Amino acid sequence: MTLMTTPLDDLHRELGGKMVPFAGYDMPVQYPTGIIREHLHTREGAGLFDVSHMGQLVLEGAGSAALLESLVPVDIHGLGHHRQTYALFTNEQGGVLDDLIITRWDDDRFFLVVNAACKTQDIDHLRAHLQGQSLTVMEDRALLALQGPAARGVMASLCPEAAALVFLQGCRTELCGVEAYVTCSGYTGEDGFEISVASNQAEGVARALLAEEAVEPIGLGARDSLRLEAGLCLYGHELADDIDPVQAGLMWSVSRARRRDGARPGGFPGAGVILQRIEEKPPLCRVGLVVDGRRPLREGQEVFDENGVRLGSICSACYGASIGKPIAMAYIDRAAGEPGTTVQVAVRDKLLPARVAAMPFVPQRYFRG
């Protein structure tokens, strides 16, 4: 299969990026400094990520807010202009089809960012529910993410308007001499920005950002370890069509207005199941795991209690460079899900002691004003 490329493909190769297939794209998993160094630099300075493989969509037309509310358990009607919200496409069984970010550009105009692996599915899902609205796939746009404690200072020197944004807010602006839509958001747990620009102008913007002393290029490997430390879900791992939002620890993603005692209860796929789960709690829950030492954990490894009774399995794992220990997320029996609980992980032919840890593993540092 021929892999697609992003508008920054030439730049990745120039910078020494190690390219790997990901969601149908040829993407940099790391640069010569390596994943751990890239991870730590993002926590300490500012990292620049190419996330142009993600889907950028515009939904517009009368009734767009109501249409979205019929697909996600979120208060879209109450979302302000140039404000964002995390959302889940749910199915009739209460499972998750994908997670996405929705930004309200105008009363009946919304900007959606969806996962690369689910992009085609999500577009088809939206188009199947259109009722006179239009859906535009922004094929000619790139998406960059500038993340880390130094990101705001970098943005202040290049675009003061964007530097004034708070978490989950966006603006149309000019950055490095080109039109851009910038949001205060990201997938690392750090303060930062996502920048949507025309594909043919993306390399110039990226080079201008990388020219800043605090900024280094960061690949997909560190992006994954950063999001895991921040306790953030990844579709296909912590989220799937048979995992509901409550089991995933995302009960907050079901807006108060959409709950049974809310202004517009239910009305989204799987509402009956999900709202019932909020009251009764599912048998499994998502937890963090930490082990002492450096022996790595792996996705799919089984988790047991101290008596050898199976509790569940790991859905994501990595070396947590910020805390110096292997970490993981797992789905286990809710009764064993309290932080501090001792468990065991089956690593090859041995049971490795581990403990349930509170998430996020490191503090989230979103700028809220």
- The per-residue pLDDT for range 139-164, each reduced to its tens digit, is 999 999 999 999 999 999 999 999 99
The superfamily CATH assigns to domain 283-369 is: Aminomethyltransferase beta-barrel domains (2.40.30.110)
- pLDDT tens digit sequence for 12-58: 999 999 999 999 999 999 999 999 999 999 999 999 999 999 999 99
Q: How far is CA 125 from CA 6, 88, 94, 238, 252, in A?
A: 24, 13, 16, 21, 24
Average pLDDT value for residue range 214-227: 98
Report whether pLDDT(122) > 80. Answer: yes
Q: Is 289 helix (H, G, I), strand (E, B) or coil?
A: strand
Q: pLDDT tier at 293 (50, 70, 90 boundaries)? A: confident
Domain boundaries, the chain: 9-54+139-229, 283-369
Q: Are 346 and 340 within 8 A, CB to CB?
A: no
Asked whether the predicted pLDDT for residue 123 surpasses 80, the reply is yes
* Band of residue 1 on the pLDDT scale cut at 50, 70, 90: confident
Helices (H), the chain: 9-14, 35-44, 64-69, 119-127, 151-158, 160-163, 202-210, 220-229, 271-280
Query: What phi, psi does 347 have (nearest 5°)?
Result: -115, 105
To the question of pTM greater than 0.85 for the whole model, the response is yes
Q: Residue 277, Cα to own-chain centre: how many angstroms?
A: 23
CATH architecture type of domain 9-54+139-229: 2-Layer Sandwich (3.30)
- Residue 4 is predicted with a pLDDT of 97
CA distance 283 to 272: 17
Fold: same for 9-54+139-229 and 283-369: no
Q: Would you state the structure tokens that stand for residue 365, as one six-digit string? A: 């540092």
**344 membership: H or E segment, kind and range:** strand 342-347
pLDDT tens digits, 190-204: 999 999 999 999 999
Among 9, 27, 16, 41, residue whose Cα is nearest residue 226? 41
- Residue 95's pLDDT is 98
Sequence-distant (≥ 6) Cβ neighbours of residue 86 within 8 angstroms: 74, 99, 100, 101, 253
Name residue, tokens 């675009």: 159
